[in-house]
Each structure stands twice: as C-alpha cells, then as structure tokens.
C-alpha cells in the first residue's frame, strides 16, 4: 500500500513539474509588440493594428510618444496609452515596433530623437519594424532600411522613391525585418502580416476568419 502511495505521489510530482514547464514555455513564447502613439496619429491604423495583434496572441504595449496622457488623434478620437515611450523602453525589448501613420503623428515621429534611437537599435538587432501610410517617411528620416522594398500612402512616394525600391501595386510589402503598408484601408492586412510573422500563418488565418476577413498570406 505504501509503495502505491509513493508511486502516486511521484507521478503527481512529475505531472506538476510538466505543467509548470509547459506554463513557463508558454510565457516565454509570447511575442511583444510596441505601438508608438503620437498626437495626430491615424486612428484606424492604430486601433486595427492593436486589436488584430492582441487577437493574434501578441502582447501589445501602447506607448504615448511624449507621455502617458490621453492622445488626440487625427480625427479627434482620444486614446489613452498604456504607458509612455520612455517607460516602455525600460521594460525590455520588443519583437516588433509599429508606427501608425497620420500626417501630424508622423511628423512627430520624424522629429523624435528617441524614436530614431529606438528604430536604429531595433534594426541593428534584426528586430521587426512595421510602418503604415505616412510612417515609412519616418523610417527614411531615421535612416532605416535604405535600399529595401517598401510601400506607403501614395502621397509619400516622392519622399521615398530615391531611398528605397518603391512598390506601387502591393497593399503590404515585407523586405526582411521591415513591413510597410499603404493606409487605413490596408490596416487589416498590415496587422495580419505582422501577426503571421510573430504568431504564424495558422494564427493569422484564424484571426482573419473570426473577423470575417479574407487574408492572403
């Protein structure tokens, strides 16, 4: 009887260890995204990106460019960041840094030394950088990915075509660690491409299906 009890306890102990190991591995596998929210950012590009990535099992931190106060976006929608950019950077590294567009928001990203330093560090470490609409011009301003294939809102092409291989006929373009997209109407495919890269094609397709969206990886 005592032998049976000991075997049962040993089996239970092993199962607990396996459960803890699985839980630890699951935690380690979680990917982290940082979305920088600047005053004047394009609401759809921000909101759709944050929502889709979270649906895709990605931990999303929304960082206010200047502080953690509410941010007024391009169409006067007010969004409250999770934290400030300064605080977010003290929490560790991110698998992807996402830049929403919007003319005023993008200008703020272009003029921010902190954003430039972050992007250069992310790029040098091979980390993913994703920019949509006007935001690819912030990549150009900070010297990121010169010579790579990108796209953007068509109005931004004149500022980009001399520095990159500009793609006119694709809604989302990925070249290595850089993902770019064209505007509000391409935000779902933009966010799903990021999800695909971090969580896998299957997860991206499942997220798209649940949203009644057709995604072509």
- Per the structure, the count of domains in the chain is 1
pLDDT at 20: 43
pLDDT at 6: 55
Q: Residues 83-101: what's their mean pLDDT?
A: 95
Task: Please report whether residue 15 resides in a domain.
Answer: no
73 is catalytic: no
pLDDT at 111 over 90: yes
Task: Please report whether residue 149 resides in a domain.
Answer: yes
pLDDT at 107 over 60: yes
User: Torsion angle of alpha carbons 215, 207, 129, 78, nearest 10°?
Assistant: 110
pLDDT at 118 over 70: yes
pLDDT at 170 over 80: yes
Q: What is the CATH number of the domain that holds 168?
A: 3.40.50.880
pLDDT at 86: 95
Give the chain's length: 217
pLDDT at 21: 41
Q: Residues 89-106: what's their mean pLDDT?
A: 95
Query: Taken in order 118, 38, 203, 90, is the CA torsion positive or negative?
Result: positive
**For 137-150, what is each residue's pLDDT tens digit?**
999 999 999 999 99
Task: Please report whether residue 25 resides in a domain.
Answer: no
pLDDT at 29: 83
* CB-facing half-sphere around the CA of 87: CA atoms within 13 A: 12
Domain that holds residue 169: 32-210
Task: Please report whether residue 203 resides in a domain.
Answer: yes
Task: Please report whether residue 14 resides in a domain.
Answer: no
**For 2-21, what is each residue's pLDDT tens digit?**
555 455 545 555 554 544 44
Question: What is the rounded radius of gyration, in angstroms, for the C-alpha atoms of the chain?
Answer: 20
Residue, of 209 and 18, whose pLDDT is higher: 209
Task: Please report whether residue 27 resides in a domain.
Answer: no
Catalytic residue chosen out of the listed positions 68, 73, 121, 133: 133
What does pLDDT average to over the chain? 91
pLDDT at 216: 85
Task: Please report whether residue 80 resides in a domain.
Answer: yes
pLDDT at 27 over 50: no
Distance between CA atoms of 163 and 14, rounded to whole angstroms?
A: 57
Residues in CB range of 181: below 8 A, 6 or more apart? 130, 131, 132, 133, 151, 152, 171, 172, 173, 187, 189, 190, 193
pLDDT at 185: 97
Task: Please report whether residue 18 resides in a domain.
Answer: no
* Phi and psi angles of residue 10, each rounded to the nearest 5 degrees, phi first: -65, -40
pLDDT at 25 over 70: no
pLDDT at 8: 54
């Amino acid at each position: 009887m005592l032998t049976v009890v000991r075997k049962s306890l040993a089996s239970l102990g092993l199962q607990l260890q396996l459960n803890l190991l699985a839980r630890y591995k699951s935690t380690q596998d979680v990917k982290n995204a940082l979305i920088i929210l600047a005053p004047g950012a394009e609401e759809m590009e921000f909101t759709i990106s944050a929502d889709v990535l979270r649906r895709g099992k990605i931990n999303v931190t929304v960082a206010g460019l200047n502080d953690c106060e509410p941010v007024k976006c391009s169409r006067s929608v007010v969004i409250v960041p999770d934290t400030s950019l300064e605080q977010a950077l003290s929490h560790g590294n991110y698998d992807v840094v996402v830049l929403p567009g919007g003319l005023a928001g993008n200008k703020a990203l272009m003029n921010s030394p902190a954003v430039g330093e972050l992007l250069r560090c992310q790029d040098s470490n091979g980390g993913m950088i994703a920019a949509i609409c006007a935001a690819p011009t912030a990549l150009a301003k900070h010297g990121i990915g010169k010579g790579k294939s990108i796209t953007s809102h068509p109005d931004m092409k004149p500022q980009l075509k001399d520095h990159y291989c500009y793609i006119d006929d694709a809604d989302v373009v990925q070249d290595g660690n850089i993902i770019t997209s064209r505007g509000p109407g391409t935000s779902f495919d933009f966010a799903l491409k990021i999800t695909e890269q971090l969580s896998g094609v299957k997860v991206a397709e499942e997220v798209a299906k649940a949203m009644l969206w057709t995604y072509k990886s």
